Every structure is written in C-alpha cells, then in structure tokens.
Amino acid sequence: MTTGAPTSPYTARPPRSRLRRYLPLAVAAWLVLEIWLLTLVADVAGGLTVFLLLVAGIVGGSVVIKRAGRRAFQNLNEVLQRGGSPESSGGNGLVMLGGLLLMIPGPISDAAGLLLLLRPVQKAVGRYAEHSLDKRLRKAAPGSLGDAFQQARIHRPDGKVVPGEVIRDQEDNPGTGELRPPWNR
C-alpha cells in the first residue's frame, strides 16, 4: 500500500572518506606539477634532452619490470619445487612499482621510482605497508574484511594440509557443511 508521498530516487549514501574526497584533487595537482617541472627542465636543457629523458625512463622502467617479473617467477618456481607455499616466495612488488613509476613521465615519479629500487627504502616501505595492513585487519569487524583471509583446510592422515572450501548442503541440513578439497568439487 502506498501513502501517496513521493519517494526519493536517491538512497542515503554513507559519507565519503577523506581519501576518496581528496584523491582526485591530489592526482590532478601531481599531474600539473609533473608537467610544470618538465617544462622547466625543457627550458633549461632543451626539448631533445627532455624527450631523451622520457624515452630513457620508459625503457629503464620496462627493463626493471621485466627483470622483477622474471625473478618473481623463478622464486615461485623454486618454492613450489621444494614443496613450500607461494606466500613464502618473497615479493618483487615494490621493484615493479618502482619500474612503473619510472615509466610514468615526470621527474617526481622518476625520483620516487628510483627510490623504490633501493633496498633500504624497499624494506622500510614494506614494513610500513605490512604494519598498516595488519592494523587494518585487526580493526575490521568480524564477518567483514578480517575473515576474508581465513580459509578452510583439510588435514590428511599423512600430515599434509590441503586447501579446500566449505560446501553447504541446504536441502538436508541448513547450517552444516562438508569440507571438500579442490579436486572433488
């Protein structure tokens, strides 16, 4: 039954976070600053020099990304051959991010990319990222992001742990489940 009162087509949205509010403004300011610095370098050193710097950044960044990807694949291969889990294979993500920043035109992104190629900076950024992710996961309410990283496991008689997923049988007993390994689905 309707009351005749007009309903709003817009639903109430939660307030935007500061990051979502100011991130587009920060990206726009960063782009303007990169372009302005490139024009300053072009005035001082010339257009050909800026062009060569941009090409060198693209080539250098692609080489860094290619080497980091190859190294990550080799590490993953070695870990899997030894029987370990892929989580313990070590990461080249920050090296790849550094290569990507080198590929983006502009002196600020090039400086940030070169900094990320240094081992002490990688360790510091990695520790900071791990700490902030751990803190965020601890703050998460049960049933939200905090439980997303838990997975069901089957313990075989020989002691090996096999990842699987819980299949709920709704027709027979709602709320009960059977744990099936990936090869029995």
Q: Which two tokens stand for residue 102?
A: 């080198």
Domain shared by 160 and 131, yes or no? no
Average pLDDT over all residues of the chain: 77
Provide the domain count of the chain: 2
Domain shared by 175 and 98, yes or no? no
Domain span at residue 69 reads 24-135
Domain shared by 71 and 126, yes or no? yes
Domain shared by 131 and 161, yes or no? no
Most confident of 7-21, 28-42, 137-151: 28-42
Domain shared by 127 and 169, yes or no? no
Domain shared by 113 and 167, yes or no? no
Query: Could you tell me if residue 35 is inside a domain?
Result: yes
152 or 31, which is more confident?
31
In three-state secondary structure terms, 168 is strand
Nearest alpha carbon to residue 78 among 89, 62, 67: 89
pLDDT in tens, 92-108: 788 899 999 999 999 99
Domain shared by 177 and 98, yes or no? no
Query: Could you tell me if residue 65 is inside a domain?
Result: yes
Residue 4 has pLDDT above 90, yes or no: no
Query: Could you tell me if residue 89 is inside a domain?
Result: yes
Domain shared by 112 and 85, yes or no? yes
Domain shared by 89 and 39, yes or no? yes
Query: Could you tell me if residue 177 is inside a domain?
Result: yes
Query: Could you tell me if residue 143 is inside a domain?
Result: no
Domain shared by 130 and 94, yes or no? yes
DSSP string, 115-164: HHTSHHHHHHHHHHHHHHHHHHHHHSPTTTGGGTT--EEEE-TTS-EEEE
Query: Could you tell me if residue 90 is inside a domain?
Result: yes
Residue 157 half-sphere exposure, CB side, CA atoms within 13 Å?
A: 0
pLDDT in tens, 34-85: 999 999 999 999 999 999 999 999 999 999 999 988 888 888 787 777 766 5
Percent of the chain exceeding pLDDT 70 equals: 63
Domain shared by 104 and 161, yes or no? no
Q: How confident is the model at residue 11, as a pLDDT?
A: 63
* Ramachandran quadrant class, 21 (left: phi over 0; alpha: psi -120 to 50; beta: rest): alpha
Domain shared by 172 and 127, yes or no? no
171 or 47, which is more confident?
47
Query: Could you tell me if residue 80 is inside a domain?
Result: yes
